[in-house]
Amino acid sequence: MLYGITIIFATLFAGEALSRLLQLPIPGAVMGMLLLTLIAILRRGLDRRVVDAAGAMLRYLGVLFIPAGVGLMTLGDEIGRQGWALLATLLISTVITMAGTAWMLQHLLRRKDRLNKNAIQDELP
Between residue 46 and residue 65, which ones bind another protein under the rule CB under 8 A? 46, 50-51, 53-55, 57-58, 60-65
Q: Rule CB under 8 A: is residue 40 a binding residue for another protein?
A: yes
Between residue 79 and residue 98, which ones bind another protein under the rule CB under 8 A? 79, 82, 85-98
Q: Rule CB under 8 A: is residue 101 a binding residue for another protein?
A: yes
Distance between CA atoms of residues 52 and 46, nearest Å: 10
Q: Rule CB under 8 A: is residue 120 a binding residue for another protein?
A: no
The answer to whether residues 90 and 98 touch, using CB atoms and an 8 Å cutoff, is no
Of the pair 72, 125, the CB lying nearest another protein is at 72
Distance of closest approach, residue 120 Cβ to another protein, in angstroms: 13
The residue within the footprint of another protein, chosen from 17, 102, 114, 117 (CB under 8 A), is: 102
Q: Rule CB under 8 A: is residue 73 a binding residue for another protein?
A: yes
Q: Rule CB under 8 A: is residue 42 a binding residue for another protein?
A: no
